[in-house]
A and B are shown apart, each in its own frame.
Chain A
């Protein structure tokens, strides 16, 4: 009888203790506002903490004189698992009078991209990189199809 009573009250005390433990933790967080981890997104847009290698979208690098490094070898197009990249090439006559293949349009369907990085890795001339921009939402799906080479841009000299 005494044993059962002791067990009965023991279980109550143990239970209440365990509950108070949890309440102590939440009480601690309630009173310690420095532990808050919320980030205020649109306000901190200028300094959103982001990894250096964050994959936001594929962009093509251009230098000051509007030159890119893409030779139009279609390695990225082949490497892409879901047909995000489409390279439309044209024939160009270079200074020596030779006909040479060059890109006309580097079409990039952002809506299909899974940011798997396979195109970047496969690019032999490092023409494309991943940019950090992540605010891609749009009301029109057409805006997600981008042409990465800037109008009038040329291939950098010396890139084969």
Chain B
């Protein structure tokens, strides 16, 4: 029954092995990821991730805070989709204390989540250009992301770690200018996304760098626990918004972007498509935000009954799971965050084996790793 064959995990076997440390401070690891790669010339023979450089034990810290307090920490996990992280925590707590969220709050949450996804993908697009050696996309991506962050700043007060979604709804009501600004931004962005295509998508060098690189098959993607755009690029249907809808995603019309090639270019295409879908979702909602409360009435101190709840949310990077266990007191007994990037890092070796160093960089760029999310 044991189909398991132990692989030799020792990286340096002889003096001839050429082992290079990529990271913890390296321009293309987007943070403090440390990879040990074994090379033969330019070809990668083995990749070994070393994690923990930014481990803050958010799960342990969450056990110390109350149910209202712990979710602000999750903004610091995947800081590029902090809204969705907060949303996942809020959903878990709401499930536990059985609170019905008002319609208006749900719509605001979706709007914010999709704007976050847009901003995250814009940053990814820019950073990916940077990884592949083109520096200009970085600035163009950031220019558009900046506008979204300004919208966030208006409503939430903060640009990156918002802590806007709280159990029971959202923290404060939308800014009066919110709708106007979002509509104006979408109008501009729909024109600008063509620039993205001009500069990168059609570019022959970019295509050569990404097509057929870092291929992961559908079975492997599932087995490695890949989710989000990475799994969808391999043809796995895994959009939580479709499969297990939350906060009213079931009422919206949008497409789950699926490619089948499973290479870097497919992942790129999926994310580009997702941006367009996010724009569509926002357009469906922005003109008819229901009136009403933005927050349900909840008790001051939240005390869920004994039990455990699991919520799954589609962040910009994939599936975020929050596993919340309560022992009946006012503090969570155990919180586990299933972060998408953690699984993607484990799939890194499978994807990049046999490729060149340049391929490794391209793969890491299209996996869209956020290291604080890996280490937590």
Of the residues A14, A22, A24, A52, contact of B154 by C-beta under 8 Å: A52
A127 close to chain B: CB less than 8 A: no
The main secondary structure of chain B at its interface with chain A is helix
Of the residues A14, A21, A51, A116, contact of B153 by C-beta under 8 Å: A51
Of the residues A21, A52, A81, contact of B72 by C-beta under 8 Å: A81
Report how many A-B pairs have Cβ atoms within 8 Å. Answer: 78
A147 close to chain B: CB less than 8 A: no
B161 close to chain A: CB less than 8 A: yes
Whether A118 contacts B203 by the Cβ 8 Å rule is no
Q: Please, how many angstroms separate the alpha-carbon atoms of A44 and B16 in the complex?
A: 58
Q: Please, how many angstroms separate the alpha-carbon atoms of A130 and B203 in the complex?
A: 47
A145 close to chain B: CB less than 8 A: no
Tell me the minimal C-beta distance from B20 to chain A in angstroms: 31
Chain B interface size band reads 20 to 34
Chain A interface size band reads 20 to 34
A112 close to chain B: CB less than 8 A: no
| Chain B residues, Cβ within 8 Å of A114 | 72, 161, 163
Whether B146 contacts A37 by the Cβ 8 Å rule is yes
| Chain A residues, Cβ within 8 Å of B154 | 51-53
A50 close to chain B: CB less than 8 A: yes
Q: Name which of B154, B158, B202 has the most chain A CB atoms within 10 A of its CB.
A: B158
Whether A54 contacts B157 by the Cβ 8 Å rule is yes
Q: Please, how many angstroms separate the alpha-carbon atoms of A37 and B171 in the complex?
A: 31
Known contacts A15-B204, A19-B205, A25-B199, A117 near B157 by CB under 8 Å = yes
**B interface footprint on A12-35 (CB within 8 Å = 1, 0 otherwise):** 001110110110111000000000
Of the residues A24, A37, A81, contact of B65 by C-beta under 8 Å: A81
| Chain A residues, Cβ within 8 Å of B157 | 51, 53-55, 115, 117, 130
B40 close to chain A: CB less than 8 A: no
Q: Please, how many angstroms separate the alpha-carbon atoms of A14 and B208 in the complex?
A: 13
A79 close to chain B: CB less than 8 A: yes
Where the two chains meet, the residues of A that have a C-beta atom closer than 8 Å to any C-beta of B are 14-16, 18-19, 21-22, 24-26, 37, 49-55, 79, 81, 114-118, 121, 130
Where the two chains meet, the residues of B that have a C-beta atom closer than 8 Å to any C-beta of A are 65, 68-70, 72-73, 136, 143, 146, 150, 152-158, 161, 163, 166, 171-172, 175, 195, 198-200, 202-205, 207
- 13 residue pairs from A and B, CB less than 8 Å apart: A19-B205, A21-B203, A22-B199, A37-B146, A51-B152, A81-B69, A115-B161, A116-B72, A117-B163, A118-B72, A118-B163, A121-B172, A130-B157
Known interface pairs A22-B203, A24-B198; 19 further A-B residue pairs with C-beta atoms within 8 A, sorted by A's residue number: A18-B202, A18-B204, A18-B207, A21-B199, A21-B202, A21-B203, A25-B195, A26-B199, A51-B157, A53-B175, A55-B157, A81-B69, A81-B72, A114-B161, A114-B163, A115-B157, A117-B157, A117-B172, A121-B166
